[in-house]
């Protein structure tokens, strides 16, 4: 038996922010609410939304359990939570609302990751973990607002979508070699999101809705599969390993994109196409551009298989010399 969870209303477009009260009315949400934002997103959109809904404002400072605990405490007795921000705000709101058994509405201020519509939340801690929570009941993605977000966030979102390419190949491999459940529909949807971003990489800056839709579709693929499998394979393991090793890691999507170049090479698939499309959308394609040392890339590559219990092209792990060879051949170091 499989439980599929998807958002009920998704509104994407320029000026969508003004329609939030209508979306809430459609979803029959009313009463007291808390708006979660960080100090930047509160100023650029949160304040305005909180004014429209008469919500109490909660400032998220990180993406760890203390924030989730505090927000869950603040929202006791509320009808819903509104998340206004990027990955950390979304994850904290997703987990706190799930814990309180209330819905949440996601208003992304950037398109930097595929957690916008997915039921999975990432938590930073000693080990980064992806836990099942709930997907937003509604998503309001104002493309005029997202267009104004830093270019680096948008290219990181492109790279996260492109990395679905290697994640799906890893999923197929786990199915063939380990008999793991594989869903054709979720895999095809995830692969299509990567393909559309790869084919339109040059146009995304001027037409950000291509990317927003691809990231929402990735979240839907995760909802259908019931796990992050269709969008998270060895390239995500590499990114999680970097988060553990580096003092100053790059953005999630940036690391996943560079990981996807190397994993595509290992998978004997078209790593050059992955690299080209990352270049087109302005995402980093090597260690230097990510601000990460050669040593850390090799360490992350040779330890990524231990980050989580998920079968990928890394199988039981690769040696340091093999890691060095892969990173050099693909121009990452
Ligand atoms: Zn990701």
CATH number for the domain that contains residue 241? 1.20.1090.10
In this prediction, residue 16 carries a pLDDT of 98
User: Which of 80, 10, 1 shows the shortest CA–CA distance to 220?
Assistant: 10
Q: Flag whether 3 is in a domain.
A: no
Length of the chain (residues): 333
pLDDT averaged over every residue in the chain: 96
Is the confidence at residue 52, as pLDDT, over 90?
yes
Q: What global pTM score does this model have?
A: 0.95
In this prediction, residue 92 carries a pLDDT of 96
Choose the final residue of a domain: 147, 166, 187. Answer: 147
In a domain, 287, yes or no: yes
User: What is the distance in A from the centroid of ligand 1 to the CA of 318?
Assistant: 22
Q: What would the mean pLDDT of 127-135 be, rounded to a whole number?
A: 83
* CA–CA gap between residue 287 and residue 266 (Å, rounded): 18
Distance 159 CA to ligand 1 centre (A): 9
Looking at the fold, whether 159 and 117 belong to one and the same domain comes out as no
Distance CA 208, CA 155 (A): 10
Binning pLDDT at 50, 70 and 90, where does residue 236 land? very high
Compute, in angstroms, the gap from residue 251 CA to the centroid of ligand 1.
10
Ligand 1 mean position, distance from CA 21 (Å): 30
**Do 96 and 190 fall into the same domain?**
no
Q: What is the mean pLDDT of residues 76-83?
A: 98
Whole-number Cα distances in Å, 133 to 96, 102, 130, 239, 329: 9, 12, 9, 22, 39
If asked whether residues 217 and 318 sit together in one domain, one would say yes
What is the torsional sign of CA 281, 286, 287, 291? negative
Backbone angle region of 291, left / alpha / beta, with phi > 0 → left and psi within -120 to 50 → alpha: left
If you measure from the C-alpha of residue 135 to the centroid of ligand 1, how many angstroms do you get, rounded to a whole number? Answer: 15
Query: What is the average pLDDT across 99-124?
Result: 94
Per-residue pLDDT, averaged over 269-289, amounts to 98
> Which residues keep their CB under 5 angstroms from ion ligand 1?
160
* Per-residue model confidence (pLDDT) at position 130: 79
Residue 11's pLDDT band, with cuts at 50, 70 and 90, is very high
Report the CATH number at residue 13: 3.40.50.1970
Residue 127 has pLDDT above 80, yes or no: no
∠ at Cα 7 (6, 10), nearest 5°? 135
- Shared domain check, 260 and 159: yes
**What's the structural domain count of the chain?**
2
Residue 180 within any structural domain of the chain: yes
**Boundary residue ending a domain (130, 147, 164):** 147
Helix axes 234-245, 164-178, angle to 10 degrees: 110
Residue 20 belongs to a domain: yes
**Residue 2 belongs to a domain:** no
Give the pLDDT of residue 333: 97
* Residues 218, 120 share a domain: no
Instruction: Examine the domain organization and report whether 156 and 134 are in the same domain.
Output: no
For residue 120, being part of any structural domain is answered with yes
Given this model, what pLDDT does residue 124 score?
Answer: 74
Query: Rounded to the nearest whole angstrom, what is the distance from the C-alpha of residue 115 to the centroid of ligand 1?
Result: 7
Distance 206 CA to ligand 1 centre (A): 23
Tell me how far apart the 2 most distant CA atoms of the chain are, in Å. 59
One domain for residues 138 and 264: no
Distance 228 CA to ligand 1 centre (A): 9
- Identify the pLDDT of residue 161: 98
Same domain, 235 and 317: yes
End of a domain among 122, 147, 172? 147
Q: How far is the CA of 308 from the centre of ligand 1 (A)?
A: 14
pLDDT tens digits for 134-190? 999 999 999 999 999 999 999 999 999 999 999 999 999 999 999 999 999 999 999
What residues make up the domain containing 172? Answer: 151-329
Task: Tell me: do 292 and 310 sit in the same domain.
Answer: yes
Residue 312, phi then psi, degrees to nearest 5: -140, -175
Q: Are residues 275 and 320 in the same domain?
A: yes
Residues 99 and 48 both lie in one domain? yes
* Ligand 1 center to 197 CA (angstroms): 14
Average confidence (pLDDT) over 239-250: 94
74: CB partners within 8 A, 6+ apart:
34, 56, 58
Verify that 20 and 123 share a domain, yes or no: yes
At 330, give phi and psi (nearest 5°). -95, 0
Distance 76 CA to ligand 1 centre (A): 30
């Amino acid at each position: 038996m499989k439980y599929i969870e998807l958002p009920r209303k998704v509104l994407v477009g320029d000026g969508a922010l003004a329609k939030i009260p209508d979306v809430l009315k459609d979803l029959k949400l009313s009463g007291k609410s808390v708006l979660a934002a960080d100090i930047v997103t509160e100023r650029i959109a949160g304040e305005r939304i909180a004014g429209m809904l008469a919500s109490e404002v909660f400032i998220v400072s990180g993406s760890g359990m203390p924030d989730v605990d505090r927000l869950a405490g603040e929202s006791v007795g509320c009808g819903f939570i509104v998340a206004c921000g990027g990955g950390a705000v979304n994850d904290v709101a997703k987990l706190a609302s799930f814990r309180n058994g209330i819905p949440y509405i996601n208003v992304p201020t950037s398109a930097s990751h595929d957690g916008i519509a997915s039921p999975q939340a990432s938590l930073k801690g000693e080990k980064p973990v992806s836990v099942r929570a709930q997907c937003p009941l509604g998503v309001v993605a104002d493309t005029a607002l997202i267009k104004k977000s830093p270019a680096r966030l948008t290219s990181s979102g492109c790279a996260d979508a492109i990395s679905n390419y290697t994640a799906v190949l890893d999923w197929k491999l786990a199915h063939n070699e380990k008999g793991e459940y594989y869903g054709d529909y979720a895999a095809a949807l995830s692969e299509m999101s990567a393909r559309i971003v790869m084919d339109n990489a040059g146009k995304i800056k001027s037409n950000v809705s291509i990317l927003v839709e691809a990231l929402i579709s990735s979240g839907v693929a995760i909802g259908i599969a019931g796990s992050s499998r269709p969008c998270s394979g060895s390239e995500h393991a590499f990114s999680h390993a970097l988060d553990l090793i580096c003092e100053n890691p790059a953005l999630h999507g940036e690391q996943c994109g560079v990981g996807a170049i190397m994993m595509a090479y290992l998978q004997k698939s078209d790593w050059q196409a992955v690299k080209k499309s990352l270049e087109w959308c302005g995402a980093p394609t090597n260690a230097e551009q990510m601000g990460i040392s050669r040593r850390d890339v090799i360490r992350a590559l040779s330890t990524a298989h231990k980050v989580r219990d998920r079968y990928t092209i890394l199988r039981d792990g690769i040696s340091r010399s093999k890691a060095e060879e892969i990173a050099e051949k693909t121009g990452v170091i």
